[in-house]
Structure 1
Amino acid sequence: MGKARLVGNRIKMMRLAKGLRQKHVADMLKISQSNMSNIESSRCGVTIDHLFTLQEIFACCMSDFFVDVDIEKSADKSSNKGYTVEDLFKIVAKLKG
């Protein structure tokens, strides 16, 4: 499964876990429901601005969207600090292609 698809699936799972309708989340993102459906099914990518808004909607950490995405972590794997800004840029770059 592609990395972008993993992020789309994660967004859908988080929305469902919060009991939110796709239309409601789409309205909060100021996009159409069909666009929200395309994001969740990975037919189109999610923007970083939408991720920031989704983070607020779901009351989660940015790294929660990427929990299933394999990235190269720092050598100190015992650290549980989450993702750095550099890690997020790497993730976005990998998702783009």
Structure 2
Amino acid sequence: MQHLVDGDLASNQHGWQWTAGSGTDASPYFRVFNPTTQAEKFDPTGDYVRKYVPELRGIEGKKVHQPQDNPPNGYPTPIVDHAHERQVALDRYNKIKA
């Protein structure tokens, strides 16, 4: 917890277990979160992102959720295509279920 900026044992423990599908109230296997979509939905102005990601503070408005479109100097490019990887994960789950 000491490495988390907003760490809270009760909240984080259950949140992580829920997301991993191993908690007492686990998410369904087909619900794969996209962090960009979640940020756009729950932080539409980007204030939270700018507060905790100093490299993105210079990006105004909603554009902060798509930094790869005009990345700040030295900011890493995305390493995951969320839509593709979601489908890969679902295909694997479906193969196991079959």
Structure with the bigger percentage of helix: 1
Q: Normalising to structure 1: TM-score of the pair?
A: 0.33
Higher CA-based Rg: 2
Structure with greater contact order relative to length (CA < 8 Å, sep ≥ 6): 1
